[in-house]
Amino acid sequence: MKTKISINIISIFLFLFSTTVHSDGRVAVRGHNGAVASSSYTASQVGVEVLKKGGNAVDAAVATAFAMAVTHPTAGNIGGGGFLVYHGVDGEITAFDFREKAPLSSSKDMYLDEEGKVINNSIGPENHFSIRAVGVPGTVAGLALAHERLGTMDWSDLVVPSVLLARNGIPITWKLHDDFNSDRRKAWFGEYPSSVEKFYKKTSNLLDEGGAEYMPGDIWKQEDLAKTLERIQDKGKDGFYKGETAKLIADYMKQNGGLITLEDLEKYNAVERTPIVNDYRGHTIVSMPPPSSGGIILSEMLNILEGYDLNQIGHNSAQYLHLLTESMRRAYADRANYLGDPDFNEDMPIEKLLSKEHAADLRGSINTEMKSESDPALFAQAYESEETTHFSVVDKKGNMVSLTYTLEFGYGSHIVVGGAGFLLNNEMGDFNAIPGLTNASGRIGTTPNQIRPEQRMLSSMTPTIVAKNGIPLFATGTPGGKTIINTTMQTILNVVDHGMTIAESIEAPRIHHQWLPDVTSFEKIGISPDTRKMYESLGHKIRIRNSIGSAMGVYRDPETGVISGAADSRAEDGGVAAY
């Protein structure tokens, strides 16, 4: 198969030297015509090249997403799923749900042994660490649906840059080197010959000391992935869910004890949904609806905090952090009790959760002088991996896209489909594995997120766009598992309540609380010891972490039209491209 060179490799590399790029975080990259902020410099640059050729924000998002499947394999993907939120300068808003689905042969107790406990294999719990943990991928279908609805450029032109990047190769960065070669990752990849073939040189046996590692600066070529992307380039969604790629997936599953069949792939559909819309201090918050919990829980926390003068209280003061924590505590409790896939849970009380009255009731239960207690009998949180990725896009007209997608764990299941060259997710672990069991250790067994065939698993991904007077103002989002919603909220508060730039809002220190475990995560740098002591005096327990999340944002000044993009310095290979 011959690649169509509408955007050729020469133009891409010339572009790398002509586009404004910045990685320091606190100072935004600016332009007049468009920007992309992502966890991959190269992918951001591919997206802006599309904008330069006349594409809109959706076109750029499609090209960026496919490029990240090549350049950012820890979470960029065609074997996973996610969510896209769109806000047009004309006021149109919509959301695309391409979350993975449970295979047709799955069941609510599929991971349990005779004693009702989750089965463990040599690596770990089977619902996270096995080929049976793979959900039916949604990314290609979601990108195709968004392009069909809102794209303007030829689909082939949007996919070909990723084909060329895979075939011609990309330089191994220090981050990629470190990711590929941790002891745990070597062991996990080592379970699957197709994964070893992708991530290590062919000049030695498996993982001995004969020099199998790719070193920083080496050129990493992914020919099988290039061929898979070429089929998508030529046939769109059918190039993945039907034909050769689908057969490679189904055959690999059958040979290795997986569940996904040709029927699962042919039946998969992405869904266009109505976004969650909420007002906060004169701004319109547009975010993702279920099966993402992000939009609802983000809005619920903002509604609670709207009753306080946060600017007067002071950014990241002890009292401010206390109020954030108590808002997080209450909203995450509602998340556990009520939310799941809307196609399987028709009675979710979404209207109530979004109401200002519900927020007022929750606000009334907050003691400003003392922390609340958590009840593990009611509200526990299932584990959700933090290895996701997010990017934000704005085009010349001011249309914005906020997109978050994932493989679940970093590198997902660590399983590469033989002959197809891409990683599979392990998203089935986001379901409640033991129905009915909820405990203080973080296990959750509530009904809305139990496994059912074709159900989409609950997620915390929170792609969000903030508008003012009907015009999109900024787009934001982040990876980070359960921390995603809180990071997104804090970036919004930083802009709306504290007057920060998009770059300052992303770089500011963050905290995280999710009801259980009843402990607040603080970033190691940025919040003073004195503030921590005052916060702890209110009864809170603190855990110190290196970082929380890795936000990516774009902002368009409604008066001047100047565009600012910011890539979180917490993302080692992240970057902004703008022009």
Q: Are residues 379 and 505 in the same domain?
A: yes
| Tens-place pLDDT, residues 495-509 | 999 999 999 999 999
What Å distances lie between residue 142 and 83, 269, 388, 475, CA to CA? 8, 8, 17, 19
The tokens describing 357, both together, are 């009255």
Please give the tally of structural domains in the chain. Answer: 2
Residue 314 lies in a domain: yes
Q: Are residues 522 and 556 in the same domain?
A: yes
- The more confidently predicted of residues 442 and 387 is 387
Asked if pLDDT for residue 515 goes beyond 90, the answer is: no
Q: Are residues 177 and 200 in the same domain?
A: yes
Q: Are residues 131 and 203 in the same domain?
A: yes
Residue 8 lies in a domain: no
Q: Are residues 292 and 248 in the same domain?
A: no
Catalytic center residues: 388
What is the residue type of 511?
I
Q: Are residues 252 and 114 in the same domain?
A: yes
Residue 121 lies in a domain: yes
Domain housing 236: 37-80+98-268+412-434
Q: Are residues 170 and 252 in the same domain?
A: yes
Q: Nearest Cα to 180, choosing from 196, 204, 203? A: 196
What confidence tier does 203 reach under pLDDT thresholds 50, 70, 90?
Answer: low
Residue 405 lies in a domain: no
Q: Are residues 205 and 219 in the same domain?
A: yes
DSSP string, 293-336: SHHHHHHHHHHHHTTS-HHHH-TT-HHHHHHHHHHHHHHHHHHH
Q: Are residues 62 and 186 in the same domain?
A: yes
Residue 397 lies in a domain: no
Q: Are residues 225 and 346 in the same domain?
A: no
Q: What is the pLDDT of residue 376?
A: 53
| Tens-place pLDDT, residues 440-491 | 444 555 678 889 999 999 899 999 999 999 999 999 999 987 899 999 999 9
C-alpha of 573 from chain center: 16
Report the C-alpha gap between 225 and 165 in whole angstroms: 10
Q: Collapse the DSSP code of 488 into the 3-class scheme (helix H, G, I; strand E, B; otherwise coil) and give the result.
A: helix
Asked if pLDDT for residue 377 goes beyond 80, the answer is: no
Q: What is the pLDDT of residue 7?
A: 43
| Tens-place pLDDT, residues 12-55 | 443 443 444 544 567 899 999 999 999 999 999 999 999 999 99
Residue 235 lies in a domain: yes
Residue 407 lies in a domain: no
Q: What is the pLDDT of residue 347?
A: 86
Q: Collapse the DSSP code of 219 into the 3-class scheme (helix H, G, I; strand E, B; otherwise coil) and give the result.
A: strand
85-107: average pLDDT? 97
Q: Are residues 160 and 198 in the same domain?
A: yes
Report the C-alpha gap between 108 and 489 in whole angstroms: 33
The tokens describing 353, both together, are 């959760």
Asked if pLDDT for residue 118 goes beyond 70, the answer is: yes
CATH of the domain at 527: 1.10.246.130
What is the residue type of 496?
V
Q: What is the pLDDT of residue 441?
A: 41
Residue 372 lies in a domain: yes
DSSP string, 196-213: HHHHS-TTSSTTSTTT-S
Q: Are residues 206 and 312 in the same domain?
A: no
